[in-house]
């Protein structure tokens, strides 16, 4: 009996560690099975509006409005005044759109946002000066030089700001062919604005500025042709040649007669209206968006409480 008892005891001592090991193995297996690891990686694409063409539309429509204001003084045609306010409405729509998108400005677009704020501040002075100029013109039956000069000064402040913005933003020139064409329309319309101002003010500096702007257009387009050799600028070059010829014809009649020939003014106006229609179509920014890719990851871990 003692022998049987001793054998049973020895067998028990041997089996006990094996049972413990089996239990620990079961616990480890259960614990591993109880860990729930899930990982989710989301790639989110957000479209951020390209602020450059949006600011360009503000610039372009203000140039167009300025041209209409001088056209009214030259012709006395109320349609020119109405067109001025129509272009201002387009400018204000463009400003509202820009403000709505400015919160998503990229780092390199901050210079545009700052410039826009300055333009908007100056815009109020431009519209007030225009109102004063129109009232005195309609009262006196002719442009009142002090009011015209004040309006011209307010215009210069706005466009000095836009020029500064483009110089700082486009350090290496426009980044795309479309951007280069838009900039050329802006340069051409600036030359037109100076062209209209010359017979209104009678100041030779306005003529010199207009001719300088036309020459600058030629210089810049030559640079763009080198940068984008596969692009064609023939259409806008032909348009520029026609507009400059019409402007110079208006200059000649003004210098000969003391007033610009209405036929010359009308010929220039027709060309400018055609240009404006084409230019505005280039500022549809619906297809020009910057894609920003954001990655986010979430890891969820649930572990079994092995002490329970």
Domain chopping of the chain, boundaries: 46-292
* Ranges in the chain, pLDDT < 50: 1-2, 4-10, 13-14, 16, 18, 20-46, 286-308
Predicted confidence (pLDDT) per residue in 110-155, tens digit: 999 999 999 998 999 999 999 999 999 999 999 999 999 999 999 9
In order of 71, 83, 113, 243, the CA distances from 156 in angstroms are: 17, 20, 20, 22
- Pairwise CA distance, residues 33 & 147, whole Å: 85
Which residue from 272, 278, 275 is spatially nearest to 71, judged by alpha carbons?
272
pTM for the model: 0.74
Neighbouring CB atoms inside 10 A of 157's CB total 15
Predicted confidence (pLDDT) per residue in 195-233, tens digit: 999 999 999 999 999 999 999 999 999 999 999 999 999
């Amino acid at each position: 009996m003692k022998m049987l008892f001793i054998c049973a005891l020895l067998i028990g001592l041997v089996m006990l560690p094996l049972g413990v090991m089996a239990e620990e193995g079961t616990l480890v297996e259960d614990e591993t099975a109880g860990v729930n690891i899930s990982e989710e990686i989301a790639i989110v694409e957000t479209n951020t509006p390209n602020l450059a063409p949006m600011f360009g539309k503000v610039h372009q429509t203000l140039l167009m409005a300025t041209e209409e204001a001088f056209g009214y003084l030259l012709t006395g045609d109320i349609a020119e005044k109405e067109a001025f306010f129509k272009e201002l409405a387009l400018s204000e729509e463009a400003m509202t759109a820009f403000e709505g998108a400015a919160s998503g400005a990229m780092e390199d677009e901050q210079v545009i946002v700052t410039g826009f704020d300055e333009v908007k501040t100056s815009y109020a002075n431009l519209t007030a000066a225009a109102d004063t100029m129109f009232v005195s013109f309609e009262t006196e039956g002719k442009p009142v030089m002090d009011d015209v000069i004040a309006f011209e000064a307010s215009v210069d402040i706005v466009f000095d700001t836009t020029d500064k913005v483009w110089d700082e933003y486009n350090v290496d020139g426009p980044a795309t062919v479309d951007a280069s064409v838009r900039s050329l329309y802006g340069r051409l319309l600036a030359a037109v604005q100076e062209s209209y101002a010359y017979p209104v003010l009678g100041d030779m500096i306005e003529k010199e500025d207009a001719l300088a702007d036309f020459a600058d257009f030629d210089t810049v387009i030559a640079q763009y042709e080198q940068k984008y050799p596969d692009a064609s600028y023939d259409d806008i070059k032909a348009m520029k040649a026609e507009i400059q010829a019409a402007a110079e014809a208006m200059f000649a009649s003004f210098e000969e007669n003391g007033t610009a020939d209405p036929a010359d003014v009308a010929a220039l106006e027709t060309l400018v209206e055609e240009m404006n229609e084409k230019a505005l179509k280039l500022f549809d920014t619906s297809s020009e968006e910057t894609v920003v890719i954001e990655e986010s990851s979430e890891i969820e871990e649930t572990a079994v409480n092995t002490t329970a």
